Amino acid sequence: MPVELSVMRSSILAVLTGTTLLLGACSAPSDDDALKAAPEQATTGQNTAADTTTATEKTTATTYEFALEDYQVSPDIDLPVRGSVTTAGHSNAPLVVVNHLRTFNCADDTFAYPCPEGVDEVRADRGMHYLAEDLAEAGYTVVVPDLGPLWAPESPTQPYDQVEAWAGVVSAIRGELEAANQGQSQHLDDSLVGMTDFSRTGVFMHSRSALLGNKAAEIWPEVSLASYGGFYHVPEFPEDNFSPAPADVPTLTIDGQADEDTSQAAADWLPEYVGQDRNTAALNVIVPGLGHNYINRVLSQREFDDRIDDGELSDIGATEHEEFLAEALTQWFDQTLRGQDGPYPLQADDELPSELAGREASVYAATPAAAEQWIASAPEAQLPGSEAEFCRIYPSMNPVQYDDRCDFVDLGIVNSASVNARVQLTKSPAVVPVSSAGAEALSMHMMPTGSREDGKKETKLEITAIMDDGSRQPVPVPTPNPVLKDATTETSNGEYWIRTLRISLPETVKNRPISQLEITGDGSIDLRAVDLY
């Protein structure tokens, strides 16, 4: 199993591509001729390297591996600046940087740079070449840096700051690619002239690479962020601090529900910032069946599967992981870098998808332009009429009885790192004190408080808008309710995360003054926030 920084669930106890590589991987050549990148021709199609790199229409993708001058992190530490650039003949293509996970970078299953004498390097960057080719075919210039040596130390901050080191390494690559774009590079292929638009950059991050998102947004213009199985900090103590997603950068986080490495860290992390004043969307998508490692071909070829197979995963292998990720990322970057239509809910009135890239998905969505908001963690937050418990779920292996610690649920697993209101829904209304001079949509960020013990298929929720004129207007809740459905299966007692229920307000309520909302029902929910748009 590759070693990643572990992220404790807050609710439980507690590849090489199929093409031929034409440039040596283990050490950087020492002269300019050796540094000149050699193409890696994709297996599909009959185009020559010259054809594929100079065509202006969609053609077979070509990958060029390169090795530049080392980057000096400190007087005693140099890091290689190497990796690949992939194009498919599209001129002025937006740049995408694909950042791989931290895994063993030496063949003896150790972390070291350089590797011990006689031990080959493991190039996890090559495990993402398939993704680079798919994105290139979709019209992007794709850089995949080799981050294996950079990630070798276990600590992200010692003996050097890995985020700052990444910025140095990737900035050197970007600078060389910019030179190649102008026909002035001594190290990259001449066919890269005019291929890349550097005003727009997509950044993909796997696992520990999620640490890089804020830095990328800081140093480059018009960035779009996407992560898979991202290592995000979730608190284990009341004094822990989070680091928010950049408010002006569209952010997509994808978690495999079967991920046993970083679990679903982004699903815990992102709802902490539900009150952030955003001008772009921040989304978390959880996809059943997908794990952590199999989006990287180097790991899948070594059968490093982090998932616990309960008999339901046999039909979801490396191919399914790769196909999902390629389609999901292409759609994301098309929407956020090119302004195309797509499945992602970037605006408050966009419908939340129940599928992504052909797979079932559940969504947490923070979108811009909330008119009014109620947040459970706000000072003096209340839900009049209810006996709501305002509490936070801590890892079960942390035994400290904090004042705000939630009780354990009776059945199932609930995951959240934030303060939520645990509300028992009954016929007697709980008042959500959120008002608006006029709204068109309602979002509730919540989850069931565990699985039902009475066999019912979902937790019933009813919403009533109390208007300024005193009238009571029902707000229809979809049936079945995708957020409050019971997740019990034959092999699981059910697991839950804060998800978003988005409702378009009926004409009797839309754009009319609302004084408050009332919620009734049957069962219990953990409510993080309510938005009126």
Q: Convert the pLDDT of each residue in 249-300 to its tens digit.
A: 999 999 999 999 999 999 999 999 999 999 999 999 999 999 999 999 999 9
Encoding tokens for residue 199?
Answer: 């005003």
**Phi and psi, residue 169, nearest 5°:** -65, -50
Contact, 459 vs 424, CB < 8 A?
Answer: no
pLDDT at residue 9 is higher than 60? no
pLDDT at residue 40 is higher than 90? no
What pLDDT is attached to residue 11? 33
The mean per-residue pLDDT over the stretch 58-63 comes to 78
Between CA 53 and CA 55 the distance in angstroms is 6
pLDDT at residue 38 is higher than 90? no
Categorize the per-residue pLDDT at 59 as very low, low, confident or very high, splitting at 50, 70 and 90: low
What pLDDT is attached to residue 396? 83
CA dihedral 332, 335, 338, 339 (to 10 degrees): -170
pTM above 0.75, yes or no: yes
Domains 55-366 and 372-532 are alike in CATH topology: no
Encoding tokens for residue 156?
Answer: 């992200």
- Can you tell me which residue has the tokens 């926030």? 529
Nearest to 475 by CA among 447, 436, 449: 436
pLDDT at residue 461 is higher than 50? yes
**Phi and psi, residue 271, nearest 5°:** -65, -15
Categorize the per-residue pLDDT at 240 as very low, low, confident or very high, splitting at 50, 70 and 90: low
> Domain 55-366 is in which class?
alpha beta
Spell out the domain ranges in the chain: 55-366, 372-532
Q: Does domain 372-532 have CATH number 3.40.50?
A: no
Nearest to 499 by CA among 450, 462, 445, 449: 445
**CA end-to-end span of the chain:** 45
Nearest to 464 by CA among 520, 399, 527: 520
Categorize the per-residue pLDDT at 241 as very low, low, confident or very high, splitting at 50, 70 and 90: low
The mean per-residue pLDDT over the stretch 140-162 comes to 98
Categorize the per-residue pLDDT at 404 as very low, low, confident or very high, splitting at 50, 70 and 90: very high
Categorize the per-residue pLDDT at 44 as very low, low, confident or very high, splitting at 50, 70 and 90: very low
